[in-house]
Amino acid sequence: MTAAALIAGAVAKSATVAEVLVGRGVLAQTGALFRRQFGDGPACVIADENTWIAAGAAVEASLKAAGVAVRHHVMPGRPRLKSTVDLANSLRDVLAVDQAVPVAVGSGVINDVVKHAAFGLRRDYLCVGTAASMDGYTSAGSPLSDKGFKKTIQCRPAKAVIGDLDVIAAAPAEMTGWGYGDLAGKVPAGGDWIIADALGIEAVDDVAWPLVQGGLRGWLGAPEAVAAGDAAALEGLFTGLTLVGLAMELHGSSRPASGADHQIAHLWEMDDLKFGGERVSHGACVAVGCVMALRLFDWLLGQDMTRLDVAAAVAAAPSLGVKIAAIHAAFGPGEIAARAVEEVRAKHVEGANLRARLERVREGWPLLAERLRAQVMAPDLMVGMLHRAGAPAEAAEIGVGRDYLRRTTLNARFLRSRYTVLDLLEECGMLEAAVEASLPLPARKEGRA
């Protein structure tokens, strides 16, 4: 099935996304698409200095040529914008002066903050993607930091999305690597969902799962071509990212796309991780988080869980109070700890409930292990693929030192009520051993400690 047919089939199921236009030179069709989906305006093009040059000016010209009244708002290109509720609220104020349809021209940050701003004003919006750098163009979630805590806020996806492959190919190569890394994270995220499904916590969605996992190996299968800017490879990458976004909308949460890999990455983003004088991107963080998650899976699959001592694990399991104390020790006082306590409280089980879950792990392990081996990938294989695609893979490549990697991986389980391999390992009393075994060998020079 062609990329266009795959996207059209998913769009037909969407309650919000009405049209996704992908191809070479399609930027010139912006005005015509706008009129089809939004009427004659007015429109407000929102970009930063970089995306304005890449596509914003051409988008405005196309809108004007189609008879659409248009204004623009261009934000600084450096330092790299950060996805925050405060920035989204400032854009809501920019838009509120009239009834303009927002036209987001950019990639992750710009789309996320415009999505939130448009949702607050109850307006549909158009997104013009300028890089295959993340999976949020068609998703209903907007991952934003609110008082330091990064969370996915449910909004409404763009009503229409344009992905001009010429513009996407001209984006900085590192941004394409970020998109490849974001897509690679769906491999361990699928493993996390399989665990939750097997334990009766959250069933796999028969609609969302194939949208993400059905073509995943193919979209990831040509990393060298992705790095070289090959048109077919970029179309596959953008298609995969688009379908992931639609899967999240159809499922009603980010579960189809996000697991332990994202939770680890979100902690680094919440810490405002910088490397080489620049804020580390979401996709780069996810790429490294993906590898760490795969190493945890690799360690888990090396254990004989049919011999799990359930009684000992239940007796040694930390109480909710112990977990809350660990949260405050990790994050200190304030909003982040308060949010983390809510998330952990929602998924905590103990006593007979924990015993029943772990017995299910022990008895169902042969089948669960078989499902996981079919889903996850050898960590070293993924490292090679990420590197060939131009994405980071090892923690040191984004300035994350060994001790910081250990600490953030252990603390990542506190960020979401979503059940992942981190929670399974903790409940079995194996988390610290698994993390320690998954860390890189000590190096002479490390990044953030």
Query: Looking at residue 82, what is its pLDDT?
Result: 83
Q: What is the mean pLDDT of the chain?
A: 94
User: Are 21 and 235 contacting, i.e. CB atoms less than 8 angstroms apart?
Assistant: no
Question: In the chain, what are the domains?
Answer: 3-171 (3.40.50.1970), 178-202+255-438 (1.20.1090)
Rounded to 5 degrees, φ, ψ at 84 are: -130, 155
pLDDT classification of 79: cutoffs 50, 70, 90: confident
Contact call for residues 412 and 364 (beta carbons, < 8 A): no
Percent of the chain scoring above 90 in pLDDT: 83
Dihedral, CA atoms, 48, 53, 59, 61, nearest 10 degrees? 120
Residue 47 confidence (pLDDT) above 70: yes
Helix (H, G, I), strand (E, B) or coil at 318: coil
CA quadruple 245, 248, 253, 258: dihedral sign = negative
Rounded to 10 deg, the angle between the 30-38 and 57-65 helix axes is 60
Calculate what percentage of the chain has a pLDDT beyond 70: 98
> What pLDDT digit, counting tens, does each position of 6-16 carry?
899 999 999 89
Q: Are 284 and 392 in contact (CB under 8 A)?
A: yes
pLDDT of 446 strictly over 80:
no
pLDDT tens digits, residue range 219-236? Answer: 999 999 999 999 899 999
Of these ranges, 226-230, 278-282, 386-390, the one predicted with the greatest mean pLDDT is 386-390
Is the confidence at residue 445, as pLDDT, over 80?
Answer: no
CA distance 198 to 194: 6
User: For residue 198, what pLDDT band results from cuts at 50, 70 and 90?
Assistant: very high
pLDDT of residue 148: 80
pLDDT in tens, 113-165: 999 999 999 999 999 999 998 877 888 878 788 878 777 888 889 999 999 99
The SS3 assignment for 161 reads: strand
Distance between CA 299 and CA 191 in Å, rounded?
13
Residues 57, 52: Cα–Cα separation, whole Å: 6
The predicted model gives 60-87 an average pLDDT of 92
Phi, psi (5° rounding) for residue 79? -65, 165
395 with 286: CB under 8 angstroms?
Answer: no
Give the dihedral sign, CA 212/83/438/179. positive
At 218, the pLDDT band (50, 70, 90 cuts) reads very high
Two tokens at 179?
């998109």
The values of phi and psi at residue 33, to 5°, are -65, -40
What pLDDT score was predicted for residue 99? 96
354-370: pLDDT as tens digits:
999 999 999 999 999 99
pLDDT of residue 443: 62
